[in-house]
A and B are shown apart, each in its own frame.
Chain A
Amino acid sequence: MRPQMTIMAVLATLAGTAGLYPLFTSRSWFWYGLGAVLCVAAGSAAVRYFRLPAVVGVAGGLGALLLYLTVLFTPGQALLGVVPTPGSLRALGAVANAGWQGVNQYAAPVPPVKGILMLTAAGVGLVAVLVDLLAVWLRRAAPAGLPLLAMYSVPAAVRDDSVSWLAFGVGALGYLMLLTSDAREQVGGWGRAVEPARRTEDVPYAGETADAAPRVRSAALAASGRRIGAGAVAVALVVPLVVPGLRPGGWFGLGDGDGNGGSRTVTTPDPLVSLKRELTRQDDSVVLTYRTREEDPDYLRLYALDRFDGDRWTYNALESTGRDRLTSGRLPAPPGLADGVPTRDVRTVVDVRPEVRRMTFLPVPYAPTRVSVKGEWRVHPPSLMVYSLRDSAGGRSYTVDSRRALPTARDLAGGGSSPPDVVAHYTSYPRSVPPAVRRLADQVTRGATSAYAQAVALQRWFTETGGFVYDLSAPSPQHGSDLVAFLLNSKRGYCEQFAASMALMARILGIPARVAMGYTAGTRTTGDRWTVRSRDAHAWPELYFPGTGWVRFEPTPAGATGQGTAVTPPYSTQAQAQAPETPETRGGEDDPAAEEEAEASPSAAPAQRDDLPGDTSAPETREDGAPYGWMLAGALVVLLLAAPMVARALLRRRRWAAVDPSSSGSGGPRSRRTAAEPVPADAAHAAWREMRADALDHGLAWPSSDTPRAAARRLTESLHLDEASAQALGRIAMAEERARYARAAVRVPPSVLRGDVHTVRAAFSQNVTRRARWRARLLPPTTVTATTSAARAYGDRAADAAARAREAITARVTALRDRD
């Protein structure tokens, strides 16, 4: 039966599920997983009770899981609500299918819908079956960690931010408990068989009591085992905090908390995480409402992402100073907007819902000229982003005056040249962008003569001719390769892909471009009231044209088969481009209230800013953290694997460098200095140690009672070394022997010894098994031993220190108690 191990397997699996919490928006999934684990354990235990083989045990676990799922999800189609029928199985399959679609549709955290819960219960149940099979049936508790790890790795793979350390600690401790319990049971099995205490129960000896029976003194061993286990978990928790790039994200608090916060919390699109989460929110909650007299209000912009790092669009760290504060409410003039272009001043009164959290950037229509808002807000002059280092827009009401540019196609095609700083900053893209994308950009815009024509051609290609499909189930673009795949192959995506791709292609064509992120105009409710919901979150490219400045384009398909509330700006359609004679003549007369002073305040002009370290620099590091974190983790793994090999090579180099300065040209000046006058004995010792390490690496025996010549003789005989190798070995042994025991060491040039060592190593390598050969290359036992012995020494020292500290504390406590 192994009841204890069964319980431990259940607990370990449940502890492992702790890591799944960031995937869900509520906690109900846990109870489904708990039920699945218990059912599997019960089914498996029942099979054990009847002493049937392990195969039946797995079948029992799976059967119990199936029953559980049937009862929970498809009782209607099942016989008596319990027994699965073909119909109920089909229904179960349908539920699973729905769940799978849900998983693909929603970004984590996902709401606890039926299908997803069923998948979760099934997955946790399967892990439980595997753990039960390995740990309880096969008595292999250690490999039982693999299914647990697989389960744990799901959130790590799905979420950009990592799982909290607490969840990891719980999972790791659960696994340790499983190991401990298994080991205790094995040792206990040995111990009980010979324990006299057992016998006394049956046939008590005269004068002997159960207490007198000798007990296995395993306390010290167990204590060190616990020390090792707790130490390992502690190291695993501490190392990521110390190593940069592995730190769990959390600047925006997405790592934990908001997933469980309930439906009251409304999140805002974060430029650094996918918009997808907003677009796929189930509740589609209201983010803000606004009033405007515009018939077709412009988009509300939160961010302008001016940097493409090869993978994603992001913004350079904002260098904020006190001069950026919105004291008068006035903003700098819109960059690049000349007088000749028709504009309209618009006033927008925005009410942000109080549930909105962490909205530290204000959604404003471009180009804002004046913002009246309470709190400490700042402006980023080049992009006119309005943000706060302290306050959140949640629950605030503010008024924005903006100057909406209404350029004609002629204005945009009008020529002139962009300022050099704008061109330099907004047309750069990494070299890693594949040539195929550059060719594509040229191909799409073939025949277009001006930058404007090129931009229109691009937008047309995306929305009409390119064959793109708006598809929210596409994975969010995390890497440059995702964008390339979108452009060249899949052609399925949502606003993020469209906006990012068009901005990138514009840059390739030499048009200054950036990606804006925020909300579409939303939907009109009554009169001048508009409502913006979280699904109105949007990304779009902004292109710079001389004379007009930044102009919005819309490559994302709009309407029913696209971003519902997206609107293509009138100046960006092909017809407009071909018919520049139909200017938009609407002036700024619509809104008299907006006729206020809208000129830029000189004091707010862009200037050299002082660095403001802190919040503003954080977003950048976080953005870089995602891809670099993975690279760093990979590099760390490679480094760990290569460490013994590298350590061995370094040691070899150091040995020789110390005695043979001529041979180590790259050894650097340090070795040159220390080896200024190499002693012959040192060279012999170095050669000998090196040869000994080689022998040990190749798994050859090396009794400590062997003298140099005895070792050489033994190796020559046991390996049947050829003449040359035997002589080389003899020379090394002879040099070492004289160096150790004679009056004066024989002067053998280190280079000769080095050559001999090399010969002998080759001979070793030839004469051992392939396994030993590769181990010598990849995992040299000498370095491994050195590492473990060093670790053991440190461990001993730490244990000593702990013991001393404990004694000191005990003494102190005793002294205090005595005083009392």
Chain B
Amino acid sequence: METGPVASAGLDGLTEVAGRIRGAIESVVEGKGAAVRLALTVLLAEGHLLIEDVPGVGKTMLAKALARSVDCSVRRVQFTPDLLPSDITGVSAYNQELREFEFKPGPVFANIVVGDEINRASPKTQSALLECMEEHQVTVDGVTYALESPFMVIATQNPVEMEGTYPLPEAQRDRFTARVSMGYPDPAAELEMLDVHGQRSPLDKLAPVATAADVRRLVEVVRMQHVAPAVRQYAIDLVTATREHPDLRLGASPRATLHLVRAARAYAALDGRDYVLPDDLQDLAVPVLAHRLLPTAEAQVERRRPEQVVADLVARLSVPAPRK
């Protein structure tokens, strides 16, 4: 274990630790800098990440690499159509020796939970994640159990058009801070991947480069980030615009606003800044907002995807400038 001490609670330490984690992940997932950065952003913003793409582009690899590079408890759940809610949250079992019910914690009781192919489970099972994701707690048989900190769900899913998948309920989608698409690697990265993966999986070599305590400290630093009133106003403008957009049946929720600003804080911190820029919001608007939006039937027919709508809004919306 080579986790160096966090130099300070300040920004320098953050960028240094974040750089280490990023380096570790990128040694496994080649050519996906943006996705890796977004994953780190979500980690530092105490959010959950949804990785969506076609099979075989490295979704699970990214999730596992992130989980592995931080020295903390990691659980992995393979979602299948017959998975039950109790398989995730845990179950109260009768202990015959103690003659009482005993809570057997499920896989959510970990710092990082990797939910693979989350949309293959039935909506009932997916709903089991709602409470733990938002409130960082699990309630089983009337008893509430708190989850560890940091707590992050990294879920992967195939596009809903794929066979044997259920669409995620809106409520759950709204709980994911960001959705990222991996996309196919460019030819050079793919060639390199062939070389590296030819012998053995690089994931095996990956050793943690930061501790859970490090991450908690980093999260504290991110919370202290400065968000100027103008930037907050810009965030409000952005989500308001999604609610009023004629192509959207459902706009972004207030939780989306929170997530957006929180993610922007982390994004700015990763950039080494102690203040948030509208640029951060612009970069994050599509990953943070698009998966929560429901297009109207007309927009669907005309293939206007929410990603395009958000990108369009970002390009149109005026950046707040100081008054003369």
Contact = CB atoms under 8 A, between A and B. Distances in A.
Interface of A: 681, 685, 689, 703-707, 709-710, 737-743
Contacts of B318: 704-705
Nearest to B323: A685
A705 B319 CA distance: 5
Interface in B111-151: none
Contacts of A707: 277-279, 282, 319
Given A740-B322, A741-B226, 7 more contacts: A689-B324, A704-B319, A705-B315, A706-B319, A737-B277, A741-B230, A741-B278
Interface string B267-281: 000000111111100
B319 A741 contact: no
A685 B323 CA distance: 10
Contact of B314 (A689, A705, A709, A743): A705
B205 interface: no
Interface residues of B, number: 22
A741 B280 CA distance: 12
B196 interface: no
A710 B279 contact: yes
B228 interface: yes
Contact of A741 (B277, B282, B314, B324): B277
B162 interface: no
Interface in B270-303: 273-279, 282
B274, B277, B314, B315: most-surrounded residue (chain A CB, <10 A): B277
A709 B273 CA distance: 14
A705 B324 CA distance: 18
Given A705-B317, A707-B279, A741 B322 contact: no
B188 interface: no
Contacts of B324: 689
A742 B319 contact: no
A480 B231 CA distance: 69
A709 B279 contact: yes
Given A685-B322, A706-B319, A710-B279, A740 B274 contact: no
A107 to B, nearest CB: 57
A709 B320 CA distance: 14
A710 to B, nearest CB: 6
Contacts of B317: 705
A738 B231 CA distance: 12
Contacts of A709: 277, 279
Contacts of B278: 707, 741
Contacts of A689: 324
A739 B275 CA distance: 11
Contacts of B319: 704-707
A741 B231 contact: yes
B309 to A, nearest CB: 15
Contact of B275 (A703, A704, A710, A741): A741
Contacts of B99: none
A39 to B, nearest CB: 59
A741 B276 contact: yes
B67 to A, nearest CB: 33
Contacts of A703: 315
B276 A740 contact: no
A656 to B, nearest CB: 15
B60 to A, nearest CB: 35
Nearest to A682: B322
A754 B278 CA distance: 25
A95 B322 CA distance: 74
Contacts of B231: 741
A738 B230 CA distance: 12
Contacts of B274: 742-743
B316 A742 contact: no
17 contacts: A703-B315, A705-B317, A705-B318, A705-B319, A707-B277, A709-B277, A710-B282, A739-B322, A740-B230, A740-B320, A740-B322, A741-B230, A741-B275, A741-B276, A741-B277, A741-B278, A742-B273
Contacts of B314: 705
A689, A709, A740: most-surrounded residue (chain B CB, <10 A): A740
Interface in B57-83: none
A740 B322 CA distance: 7
B171 interface: no
A743 B274 CA distance: 8
A477 B204 CA distance: 106
Contacts of A743: 226, 274-275
B321 interface: yes
Contacts of B228: 740-742
Nearest to A710: B279
Contacts of A742: 226, 228, 273-275
Contacts of B230: 740-741
A737 B231 CA distance: 11
A215 B145 CA distance: 70
A739 B231 CA distance: 12
B277 to A, nearest CB: 5
A683 to B, nearest CB: 12
A190 to B, nearest CB: 28
A706 B319 CA distance: 6
B283 to A, nearest CB: 10
Nearest to A713: B279
B226 A740 contact: no
Interface in B173-228: 226, 228
A681 B230 CA distance: 14
A710 B279 CA distance: 8
Nearest to B319: A707
Contacts of B226: 741-743
Contacts of A705: 282, 314-319
Contacts of A737: 277
A743 B227 CA distance: 8
A786 to B, nearest CB: 11
Contacts of A740: 228, 230, 320-322
A707 B280 CA distance: 10
Interface in B142-177: none
Contacts of B320: 740
Contacts of A681: 322
B210 to A, nearest CB: 27
A297 to B, nearest CB: 79
Nearest to B321: A740
B228, B316, B319, B320: most-surrounded residue (chain A CB, <10 A): B319
A195 B278 CA distance: 49
B95 to A, nearest CB: 55
B124 to A, nearest CB: 43
Nearest to A743: B226
Contacts of B273: 742
Nearest to B277: A741
